[in-house]
């Protein structure tokens, strides 16, 4: 079937006017695609983990684009107009934030922090402040406040979900889309888009294993899936 769009980790296929099929690949990129590789089985993990998290969030009042899983690597979602923003929620300093402010990885923050980046690969997804988002018309004031409030709620829900499974949520990235005047949580939520640390050992079980060449990358993704599906801690 003809592709609508192929990204770094997913392919989108058009279905009807209203829905898309998302195929999750094993290809991995980091550092604005300067580092590339394969994580065998990643697509299956990210599809299943995203589906489980979208279902959980929906059950707790978050509106998402998710409709159903259609195969090991594919889900069906509502078509949305993606806002060109990466919305990041941080509980601890890590990654680009730790680097930017010269902080040790893992430094706790006083409270959850919402940050916005412009979704633009050639520009390297630069940080963007809420005033610039409004000035550029990327989102309206009510939309932006909705996105911020939903992100904080998702943060609380994911923190509780993963804590029950022995994993600490350090940070994550969300994307949102517009559909018929409503804003829906979209894209994916997976070990590609969040930092998860084992609460016992402090070991990262996410894409940082790939970014930092820590080894055991595919195994870490499988472990996250196992815990998300509730197969013991």
Phi and psi at residue 146, to the nearest 5°: -65, -45
Residue 173 binds ligand UDP (CB under 6 A): yes
- Burial of residue 207 (CB within 10 Å: 0-12, 13-18, 19+) is buried
Residue 97 binds ligand UDP (CB under 6 A): yes
Residue 143 binds ligand UDP (CB under 6 A): no
- What the block records as the tokens of 109 is 């923050």
Q: Name which position in 69, 70, 96, 168 contacts ligand UDP (CB under 6 A).
A: 96
Q: Closer to ligand UDP by CB, 193 or 222: give it.
A: 193
Compute the least distance from the CB of residue 1 to ligand UDP, in Å: 27
- What the block records as the tokens of 220 is 């870490």
Q: What is the CA angle 12-125-213, rounded to 5?
A: 80
- Short-list 73, 205, 90, CA closest to 159: 90
- Burial of residue 129 (CB within 10 Å: 0-12, 13-18, 19+) is exposed
- Residues contacting ligand UDP: total by CB under 6 A: 14
Residue 125 binds ligand UDP (CB under 6 A): yes
- Short-list 149, 13, 132, CA closest to 84: 132
Q: Closer to ligand UDP by CB, 18 or 156: give it.
A: 156
Residue 195 binds ligand UDP (CB under 6 A): yes
Q: Closer to ligand UDP by CB, 71 or 107: give it.
A: 107
Residue nearest ligand UDP, Cβ-based = 95
- Short-list 39, 74, 59, 69, CA closest to 216: 39
Q: Name which position in 194, 220, 224, 225 contacts ligand UDP (CB under 6 A).
A: 194
Residue 15-54 contact track with ligand UDP, rule CB under 6 A, x = bound: ----------------------------------------
Q: Name which position in 26, 143, 171, 223 contacts ligand UDP (CB under 6 A).
A: 171
Query: Which residues in 108-126 are b (16+ Cβ under 10 Å) and which e?
Result: eeeeebbbbbbbeeeeebe
Residue 154 binds ligand UDP (CB under 6 A): no
- Short-list 181, 176, 179, CA closest to 148: 176
65-73, 91-99, 137-145, 212-220 -> range binding ligand UDP (CB under 6 A) = 91-99
Residues that bind ligand UDP (CB under 6 A): 86, 88, 94-97, 125, 171-173, 193-195, 207
């Amino acid at each position: 079937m003809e592709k609508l769009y192929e990204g770094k980790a997913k392919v989108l296929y058009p279905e009807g006017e209203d829905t898309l099929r998302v195929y999750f690949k094993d290809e991995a990129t980091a550092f604005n695609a300067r580092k590339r590789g394969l994580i065998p089985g990643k697509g299956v993990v990210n599809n299943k983990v995203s589906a489980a998290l979208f279902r959980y969030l929906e059950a707790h009042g978050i509106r998402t684009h998710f409709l159903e899983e259609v195969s090991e690597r594919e889900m069906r979602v509502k078509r949305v107009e993606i806002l060109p923003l990466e919305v990041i929620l941080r509980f601890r300093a890590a990654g680009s934030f730790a680097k930017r402010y010269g902080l040790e990885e893992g430094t706790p923050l006083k409270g959850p922090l919402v940050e916005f980046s412009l979704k633009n690969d050639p520009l390297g997804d630069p940080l963007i402040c809420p005033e610039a988002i409004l000035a550029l018309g990327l989102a309206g004031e009510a939309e932006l406040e909705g996105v911020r409030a939903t992100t904080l709620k998702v943060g609380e829900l994911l923190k509780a979900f993963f804590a029950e499974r022995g994993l600490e949520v350090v940070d994550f990235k969300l994307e949102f889309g517009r559909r018929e005047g409503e804003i829906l949580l979209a894209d994916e939520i997976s070990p590609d888009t969040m930092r998860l640390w084992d609460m016992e050992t402090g070991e990262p079980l996410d894409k940082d294993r790939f970014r930092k060449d820590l080894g055991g990358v595919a195994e870490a993704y499988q472990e996250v899936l196992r815990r998300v599906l509730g197969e013991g801690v």
